[in-house]
Structure 1
Amino acid sequence: MARIQIITIIISLLFLLYISRLIIKGKLREEYSIVWCVCTLILVIFSFWRSGLEVMSKLFGVYEAPNLVFTACIFVILIYLLHLSIVASKLHKQNKQMAQDIALLKEKVYSEDKQIEN
């Protein structure tokens, strides 16, 4: 096994442990950690299986293996950005609804205070 393989495997496994630690401490939600865990496991698999990238590139019809890596990374990033945009939009909508509810409750409390004073 080549030195770079050993380094890659060790770093990938340490990163996986770090992700687990973040989940346990509550700093990373489980739904977001799945993407990180899957990507790290893919790195570990290709670290053990040196010719795997060549096999996968031939399977998909890509002439150069690094092009497959870049294409896959761009695709994953786009999907993940779409997911984050959906989450941000949902949170924006909930925030707006909450602000409206608070305004209505303030108005109700204000009007009840006026009635009690009179």
Structure 2
Amino acid sequence: MTPTQRVFAITASLITFGVILELVRRRKLKEEYSFLWIVTGIAMLVLASWYGLVERVTALIGAVTVTTTLFLFGLLFLVLISVHFSTVLSRLTQQVRQLTQELAILSAERDEAARKPSAQDAPPHRG
């Protein structure tokens, strides 16, 4: 990796990490989702600044080039993000279903109570 490439990679990693932290600070990104992104930013910074590690990992997994290793890790990251968002979406779908059912029950109870005359609305009893 040339010095220019290394400086660019480190700069891009720091900018990515800074944007993630700023999004969390402004509450645009919830903390529960930020963990994976912060780990990714740190991993990008480590890989950009420690090229020997990338070469060792490339040799360890049997890849031909360093770029293959980086693309593999990028693909694995996208798979992890997809699985994470799928589990979050499943949980939210279940919560929406439950809230909809509870709202339907409450609406039915309210409508039933409105149809029944209350003690105040009943004509006075004469006897």
Partner residue, 2:13: 12
Cα distance, 1:7 vs structure 2: 2.4
TM-score by length of 2: 0.82
Q: CA-atom RMSD, angstroms?
A: 1.8
Query: Residues 53-105 of structure 1, C-alpha deviation per residue, up to 9 Å, x if partnerless?
Result: 21111122222222222222222211221121111111111101111110110
Is 2:84 the counterpart of 1:83?
yes
Quote the sequence identity (%): 24
Which of these two proteins has the greater Rg computed from alpha carbons? 2
Unmatched 5+ residue regions in structure 1? none
Question: Compared with structure 1, are the counterparts of its residues 66 and 8 closer, same or farther at alpha carbon in structure 2 (3 Å cutoff)?
Answer: closer
**Where do 1:72-111 residues align within 5 Å?**
72-111=73-112
Q: Distance in 1 between matches of 2:27 and 2:112?
A: 42
Letter in 1 for 2:14: L
Question: Compared with structure 1, are the counterparts of its residues 30 and 92 closer, same or farther at alpha carbon in structure 2 (3 Å cutoff)?
Answer: same
Query: Residues 7-48 of structure 1, C-alpha deviation per residue, up to 9 Å, x if partnerless?
Result: 222222122111111111111011211121111111211221
Partner residue, 2:125: none
Partner residue, 1:22: 23
Partner residue, 1:37: 38
Q: Distance in 1 between matches of 2:54 and 2:104?
A: 57
Letter in 2 for 1:40: G
Cα distance, 1:108 vs structure 2: 0.4
Q: Distance in 2 between matches of 1:91 and 1:32?
A: 14
Unmatched 5+ residue regions in structure 2? 123-127
Q: Distance in 2 between matches of 1:66 and 1:106?
A: 59
Q: Distance in 2 between matches of 1:78 and 1:14?
A: 23
State the aligned residue count.
118
Moved over 6 A (4+): none
Q: Is residue 47–residue 53 contact of structure 2 (8 Å, CA) maintained in 1?
A: yes
Letter in 1 for 2:10: I
